[in-house]
């Protein structure tokens, strides 16, 4: 086990035509829209009341709490997104809005540090009595994350102080000591947040509390006892239940919240997917911070289970809407899945934290796969419409009429009653600079290919890397590398698994550098004068097949190009996509679209098979005819950016 660190903001900034657009969109569209949502300035959307909840808790307004019990987290995610945007570039107006909210939050915080408007307003005597369902620790976690981000951007202490008071309060309430609450959250999030706060403040209590939450989980009957203490009443429907969790009883209720086993003994990703990956993220973080090999081993086992058995080719996870959850190995249906945007964001977190302990391209490969497909696919190009659920196959009529597909929206939505995904995208995109590189002793690791300027402080000195690329649309990456010392340093660059071959040119000369076992090439040099490294990653479009245990994808292929998974849409191929087959031996051609910043479309040859005797009856004798046709595919993340209609990732082959 090694130790690698993420960069600080002053060490890295993105400057990429591809990503600048999305960062701009988050700033110009998503954050202002969310601000208006939170403040109930949008008339054709579900009321949020989130800011008003804080005003009421702060005593500035009269009224009742309204919204989900975790409504506060919408505000925190907005604040975190704002912090992440401000970290890139200060903005007075945005800062003024954020500061105003922080003032209200400060007033809503109780004297002992407690912060949760639902309980402050509605049930002040019920605090911490329903950790399983009531999301207090989840909200606390999101607040702490927002505080770290906002503080990092502005160096204003107020929000960090609120967060520290809250975290200190948690330390007095929770812990192994006698008299303290020995519980842990129903929705994990606080663990990774406490680690971030520890990294920001250096206060070990926070790290210890995070560890306590993880290590206690699944070792006792806490949730059962809590359930008995609250009279076996469910928060959700106020009725008596047989088991602590009422809503997802096709799973063991323990599995749904990942307390079926002590976390170190968990070997299969299970239950609610977002909770799972948030928890694994904290586990990986703590393993790296404490050098806990056993914990890291558990993380690696869970990682492998996800990546080798439970992940969509789009980096989506969570095969069922029922409990927004993992199901079973190889159960990856395309038209009933959930694959929540937030879960893929959580998978990126998990991957990033794994890279703090171990450099292996599996982490960066999957991080990239999730980012360029499901995460980016969760938002349209303009940043004003979203997907919460990310199916791989959609027939709009079947989604509208069938409860198994009812969660699948064939058209991007403005907002959601449970509004986790859009703000989660908004906080993640401006934070991508934190995913490109990690730093070892005298080695800089390049995990992602994004136009950026990095000035990385290694043990012997500073290594500057200016990355220039039109990735993912083109396969060329230029890195201009220079150090401020004569010492030898290493630049380790990921060669993605999808890349069949690669070229490396150093100062114009072809270099034959083998890829190491971990999937990286190592370029060792003193870099004291500028070194220009030009890389070309083979990224011709190709067809991918599934493991045969994914029965849903038998005899089908997905088109990929580099990190991008493609899909066919009705807009380009007409209705009845399932009648199409792609001719596997025919060439796949690239075409630059005149939309979406030079996105690359892929065109192949195929056939459409239609039954001749189709005559308005349900079933008629088989008499199929085939017609030749082109098959046109667009990047999955761009689907439903033009017109509504059918969509399909896995295409039948001939």
Q: Residue 40 to residues 48, 51, 52, 570: CA-CA distances in angstroms?
A: 6, 8, 9, 36
540 binds its own copies (CB under 8 A): no
Based on the shown chain and the rule CB under 8 A, indicate whether residue 53 belongs to the binding site for its own copies: no
Choices 121-129, 187-195, 213-221, 322-330 (CB under 8 A): range interacting with its own copies: 322-330
From the candidates 200, 420, 499, 567, which is the catalytic residue?
Answer: 420
Q: Which of 221, 215, 370 is nearest to 282 (CA)?
A: 215
Q: How far, in Å, are 56, 348, 450, 566, 580 from residue 561 at the CA level?
A: 51, 20, 17, 8, 20
Residue 256: strand, helix, or coil = helix
Compute the least distance from the CB of residue 557 to its own copies, in Å: 5
Single residue of 9, 127, 300, 542 touching its own copies by CB under 8 A: 542
Concatenated DSSP letters for 277-311? HHHHHHHHHHHHHHT-HHHHHHHHHHHHHIIIIIB
Sign of the dihedral defined by the CA atoms of residues 561, 361, 441, 282, in that order:
positive
- Taking CB under 8 A as the criterion, the residue among 398, 457, 474, 518 binding its own copies is 398
Q: Is 529 exposed, middle or buried (0-12, 13-18, 19+ CB in 10 A)?
A: exposed
Among 53, 146, 255, 327, interactor with its own copies by CB under 8 A: 327
Q: Which two tokens stand for residue 226?
A: 């809590």
Binding mask 183-212 for its own copies (x = CB under 8 A): ------------------------------
Of 554, 589, 591, 598, which one interacts with its own copies (CB under 8 A)? 554
Binding test (CB under 8 A) with its own copies, winner from 179, 202, 231, 401: 401
Q: Rule CB under 8 A: is residue 576 a binding residue for its own copies? A: yes
Does 308 engage in binding with its own copies (CB under 8 A)? yes
Binding segment (CB under 8 A) for its own copies, from list 32-40, 105-113, 211-219, 390-398: 390-398
What residues form DSSP beta bridges with 527? none
Helix (H, G, I), strand (E, B) or coil at 110: coil
Residue 139 annotated in active site: no
Q: Which stretch binds its own copies (CB under 8 A): 156-164, 181-189, 545-553, 592-600?
A: 545-553
Task: Decide if residue 216 touches its own copies (CB under 8 A).
Answer: no
Three-state SS at 224:
helix
Select the span of 144-152, 315-323, 483-491, 594-602 touching its own copies (CB under 8 A): 315-323
Cα distances (Å, whole numbers) of residue 345 to 375, 376, 388, 450: 6, 10, 12, 18
**Residue nearer to its own copies on the CB measure, 515 or 593:** 515
Question: Is 496 an interacting residue with respect to its own copies (CB under 8 A)?
Answer: no
> Which range binds its own copies by CB under 8 A, 13-21, 162-170, 286-294, 391-399?
391-399
Does residue number 391 form part of the binding site for its own copies (CB under 8 A)?
A: no
Q: Is 265 exposed, middle or buried (0-12, 13-18, 19+ CB in 10 A)?
A: exposed
- Examine the residue annotation and report whether 420 is marked as an active-site residue of this protein: yes
Span from 117-125, 173-181, 275-283, 311-319 in contact with its own copies (CB under 8 A): 311-319
Nearest-angstrom CA–CA distance, 128 and 378? 33
- Nearer to its own copies among residue 517 and residue 617 (C-beta): 617
Catalytic residue among 80, 324, 569, 646: 324
Q: Are 73 and 419 in contact (CB under 8 A)?
A: no
Alpha-carbon gap, residue 469 to 446, rounded angstroms? 13
Task: Select the residue interacting with its own copies from 34, 319, 490, 641 (CB under 8 A).
Answer: 319
Of 106, 122, 404, 630, the one binding its own copies by CB under 8 A: 404
Angle between helices 157-173 and 190-201 (to 10 degrees): 120
Position 1 contacts its own copies (CB under 8 A)? no
Among 265, 529, 555, 595, binds its own copies (CB under 8 A): 555
Q: Which one among 323, 410, 451, 562 touches its own copies, defined by CB under 8 A?
A: 323
Span from 217-225, 377-385, 392-400, 421-429 in contact with its own copies (CB under 8 A): 392-400
Distance in angstroms (rounded) separating the CA atoms of residues 339 and 20: 26
**Cβ neighbours of 636 (radius 10 Å):** 28
- Other C-beta atoms closer than 10 Å to the C-beta of 299 total 28
**Of 52-60, 213-221, 421-429, 571-579, which part binds its own copies (CB under 8 A)?**
571-579
Of 156-185, which residues contact its own copies (CB under 8 A)?
Answer: none
255, containing H or E segment: helix 253-256
Contact between 336 and its own copies per CB under 8 A: yes
How far apart CA 406 and CA 399 sit, in angstroms, is 5
Cα(278)–Cα(247) distance, integer angstroms: 21
Minimum CB distance to its own copies smaller for 231 or for 616: 616
Is there binding between residue 653 and its own copies (CB under 8 A)? yes
CB of 559 to its own copies, least distance (A): 10
Binding to its own copies (CB under 8 A) within 585-644 occurs at 609-611, 613-614, 616-624
Euclidean distance between CA atoms 353 and 288, whole angstroms: 8
Which token pair is 366?
């999957």
The correct pick among 164, 257, 339, 581 for binding its own copies (CB under 8 A) is 581
Q: Give the closest residue to 278 by CA, choosing from 260, 300, 293, 258.
A: 258
Q: Which of residues 244-283 bind its own copies (CB under 8 A)?
A: 248, 250-251
The reply on whether position 571 binds its own copies by CB under 8 A is no
Residue whose CB is less far from its own copies, 229 or 406: 406
Q: Is 594 exposed, middle or buried (0-12, 13-18, 19+ CB in 10 A)?
A: exposed
Q: Which is nearer to its own copies, 270 or 477 (CB)?
A: 270
Contact 322, 248 (CB under 8 A): yes
Query: Omega into 472 within 30° of 0, i.e. cis?
Result: yes
Instruction: For residue 543, state whether it binds its own copies (rule: CB under 8 A).
Output: yes
Query: Per CB under 8 A, does 307 bind its own copies?
Result: yes
**Residue 268 — φ and ψ, nearest 5°?**
-125, 130
- Per the structure block, which two tokens stand in for 587? 């060439």
Point out which span in 133-141, 189-197, 304-312, 378-386 binds its own copies (CB under 8 A): 304-312
Q: Site for its own copies (CB under 8 A): how many residues?
A: 70
Interface residue with its own copies, options 141, 175, 333, 430 (CB under 8 A)? 333
Query: C-beta of 438: minimal distance to its own copies in Å?
Result: 25
Q: Is the CB of 94 or the CB of 394 nearer to its own copies?
A: 394
Give the residue, chosen from 328, 411, 417, 592, that forms a contact with its own copies under the rule CB under 8 A.
328
- Cα 64 to chain centroid distance, Å, stands at 33
Alpha-carbon 141 to chain mean position: 16
- Tell the smallest beta-carbon distance from residue 228 to its own copies (Å): 19
Q: Any idea what DSSP says for residue 340?
A: -
| Residues that are catalytic | 324, 420
- Binding-site ranges for its own copies (CB under 8 A): 237-240, 248, 250-251, 307-309, 311, 313, 319-320, 322-323, 327-331, 333, 336, 395, 397-398, 400-404, 406, 542-552, 554-555, 557-558, 576-579, 581, 584, 609-611, 613-614, 616-624, 646, 652-653
């Amino acid at each position: 086990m090694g130790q690698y660190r993420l960069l600080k903001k002053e060490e890295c900034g993105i400057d990429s035509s591809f990503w600048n657009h999305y960062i701009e969109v988050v700033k110009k569209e998503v954050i202002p829209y969310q601000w208006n949502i939170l403040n109930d300035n949008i008339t054709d959307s579900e009321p949020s009341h989130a800011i008003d909840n804080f005003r009421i808790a702060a005593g500035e307004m009269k009224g009742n709490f309204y919204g989900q019990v975790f409504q506060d987290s919408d505000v925190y995610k907005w604040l975190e997104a704002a912090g992440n945007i401000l970290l890139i570039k200060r903005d007075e107006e945005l800062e003024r809005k954020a500061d105003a909210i922080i003032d209200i939050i400060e007033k809503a915080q109780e004297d002992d540090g407690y912060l949760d408007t639902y309980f402050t307003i509605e049930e002040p005597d019920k605090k911490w009595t329903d950790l399983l369902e009531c999301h207090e620790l989840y909200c606390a976690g999101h607040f702490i994350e927002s505080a770290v981000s906002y503080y990092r951007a502005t160096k204003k202490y107020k929000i960090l102080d609120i967060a520290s008071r809250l975290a200190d309060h948690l330390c007095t309430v929770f812990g192994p000591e006698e008299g303290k609450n020995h519980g842990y959250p129903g929705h994990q999030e606080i663990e990774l947040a406490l680690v971030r706060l520890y990294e920001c403040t250096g206060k070990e209590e926070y790290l210890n509390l995070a560890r306590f939450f993880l290590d206690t989980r699944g070792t006792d009957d806490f949730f059962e006892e809590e359930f008995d203490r609250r009279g076996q009443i469910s928060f959700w429907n106020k009725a008596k239940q047989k088991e602590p969790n009422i809503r997802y009883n096709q799973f063991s209720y323990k599995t749904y919240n990942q307390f079926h086993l002590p976390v170190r003994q968990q070997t299969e990703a299970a239950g609610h997917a977002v909770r799972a990956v948030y928890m694994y993220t904290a586990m990986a973080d703590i393993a790296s911070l404490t050098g806990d090999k056993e914990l890291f081993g558990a993380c690696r086992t869970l990682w492998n289970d996800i990546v080798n058995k439970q992940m969509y080719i789009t980096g989506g996870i969570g095969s069922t809407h029922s409990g927004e959850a993992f199901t079973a190995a190889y159960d990856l249906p395309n038209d009933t899945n959930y694959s929540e945007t937030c879960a893929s964001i959580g998978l990126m977190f998990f991957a990033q934290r794994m890279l703090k302990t171990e450099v292996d391209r599996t982490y960066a490969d999957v991080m990239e796969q999730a980012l360029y497909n499901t995460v980016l696919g969760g938002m349209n190009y303009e940043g004003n419409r979203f997907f919460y659920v990310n199916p791989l196959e959609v027939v709009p009529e079947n989604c509208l009429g069938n409860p198994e597909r009812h969660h699948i929206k064939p058209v991007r939505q403005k907002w959601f009653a449970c509004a986790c995904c859009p703000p989660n995208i908004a906080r993640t995109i401006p934070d991508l600079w934190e995913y490109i590189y990690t730093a070892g002793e005298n080695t800089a690791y390049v995990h992602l290919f994004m136009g950026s300027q990095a000035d990385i402080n290694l043990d012997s000195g500073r290594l500057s890397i200016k990355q220039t690329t039109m990735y993912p649309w083109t396969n060329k990456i230029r890195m201009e590398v220079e150090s401020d010392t004569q010492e030898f340093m290493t630049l380790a660059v990921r060669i993605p698994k999808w890349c069949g071959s690669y070229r490396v040119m150093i100062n114009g000369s072809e270099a034959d550098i083998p890829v190491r076992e971990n999937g990286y090439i190592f370029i060792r040099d003193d870099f004291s004068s500028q070194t220009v490294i030009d890389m070309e990653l083979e990224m011709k479009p190709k067809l991918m097949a599934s493991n045969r245990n994914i029965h849903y994808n038998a005899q089908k292929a997905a088109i990929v190009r580099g990190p991008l998974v493609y899909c066919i849409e009705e807009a380009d191929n007409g209705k009845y996509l399932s009648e199409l087959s792609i001719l596997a031996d025919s060439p796949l051609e690239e075409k630059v679209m005149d939309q979406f910043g030079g996105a690359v479309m892929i065109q192949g040859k195929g056939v459409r098979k239609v039954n001749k005797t189709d005559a308005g009856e349900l079933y008629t004798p088989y008499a199929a005819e085939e017609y030749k046709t082109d098959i046109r595919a667009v990047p999955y993340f761009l689907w439903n950016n033009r017109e509504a209609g059918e969509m399909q990732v896995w295409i039948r082959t001939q």
